[in-house]
Structure 1
Amino acid sequence: MPRRIRRAARILLVDGAGRVLLFRFTPSDRPPLWATPGGECDEGESFDAAARRELLEETGIDTDPGPEVARGGCDFLTFDGEPVTGDERYYIVRVADPAINPHALTASEQAVMLEHRWFTPEEIPGWPEVIYPENLSELLVEVGLIPA
């Protein structure tokens, strides 16, 4: 049976110090992992609209995420146990203030998204827990957020 294509918008949220926001997920069926803000597009929703909605829900920031800057994806198992193929689009949002307000998380997100952290680009490659996307350091270089 073919995997469902899971369309998602991801945000590279960068503060004034050049740090990137990641959320720590603690699912019951695998080790903890870190990921950028963002999530699955709703039925009929564009990637751009999903990026803005997810940014607001997960951080409280209501702004236009601008144009798509990169694409990625891989095969993975959702937290609900569904094997999918990700079609992910990335957006850059810069903020001066690192305060966030994840006020509109779903019940399932509230159960597994228990903390967040601003990472310097230097911390990402050697971090002891999994970070998604796995090529985040290279992606930050590719989109011009850190020098090559």
Structure 2
Amino acid sequence: MSKVPGGSGVDGEAGAVRRVSRVVLLDPDDRILLLHGHEPARPAETWWFTPGGGLEGTETREQAALRELAEETGITEVTLGPVLWKRRCAFPFDGRRWEQDEWYYLARTDRTATDTTGHTDLERRSVSGLRWWTSEELSVAHETVYPTRLAELLRTLLDEGPPSAPVLLETERV
């Protein structure tokens, strides 16, 4: 599963695969920024996820990553790095079924203050906050996090650096 708020990004008609750019944003202490989301109609169903969303119009994946990061977190002072991971996922959210092709970009920032005034109406209804996580905190978390192996993926990234080519993650279907 993944988060849907953040840009329409649906290619063509209903049922099309939504192209999504996500950001693995790290601060100077190697903490990762995650958003806390929930199903709008069921706020008790919560999960954590990376900033990002669907491509709009003719924008590139990189442009979408930076736009979504700015809209969802208020953070624009970033260095966008390589694509770390790619995955397909499918899940129900806000009354419809989503099929997504997600690319996860590495980004670094010195800024840790966030601003959510750029959230869309759907994001205001489905995102309850943001938090910087250490790798250690993420590895012992009992909460749902997407992608599901994020703690392991982050630890590998911090220990070994970015992969030489994007890692294809397993497809997640909910």
Q: Give structure 2 stretches of 5+ with no counterpart.
A: 1-13, 162-174
Q: Helix, strand or coil for the counterpart of 1:137?
A: helix
Q: Of the candidates 145, 148, 153, which is equivalent to residue 134 of structure 1? A: 148
Identical amino acids, percent of aligned pairs: 35
Residue 4 of structure 1 aligns with which residue? 16
1:108 to 2:108 alignment = no
TM-score, normalised to structure 2's length? 0.73
Instruction: Give the structure with the higher percent strand.
Output: 2
CA distance in 2, matches of 1:20, 1:52: 16
Q: Helix, strand or coil for the counterpart of 1:92?
A: strand
Residue 33 of structure 2 aligns with which residue? 21
Q: Give structure 1 stretches of 5+ with no counterpart.
A: none
Asked whether the 8 Å contact 2:85–2:105 carries over to 1, the reply is yes
Asked whether the 8 Å contact 1:121–1:146 carries over to 2, the reply is no
Aligned pairs, number: 145
Cα displacement string for residues 3-60 of structure 1 (whole angstroms, at most 9, x for unaligned residues)? 4312111000111111111110122246111100111112333211110100111122
Q: Which amino acid aligns with 2:130?
A: H
Q: Helix, strand or coil for the counterpart of 1:8?
A: strand
Q: Helix, strand or coil for the counterpart of 1:67?
A: strand
Q: Helix, strand or coil for the counterpart of 1:139?
A: helix
CA distance in 2, matches of 1:147, 1:31: 34
User: Aligned-pair distance for 1:64?
Assistant: 5.3
1:1-148 matched pairs, under 5 angstroms: 3-27=15-39, 28-29=41-42, 31-62=45-76, 63=78, 65-78=80-93, 80-142=94-156, 144-147=157-160
TM-score, normalised to structure 1's length? 0.85
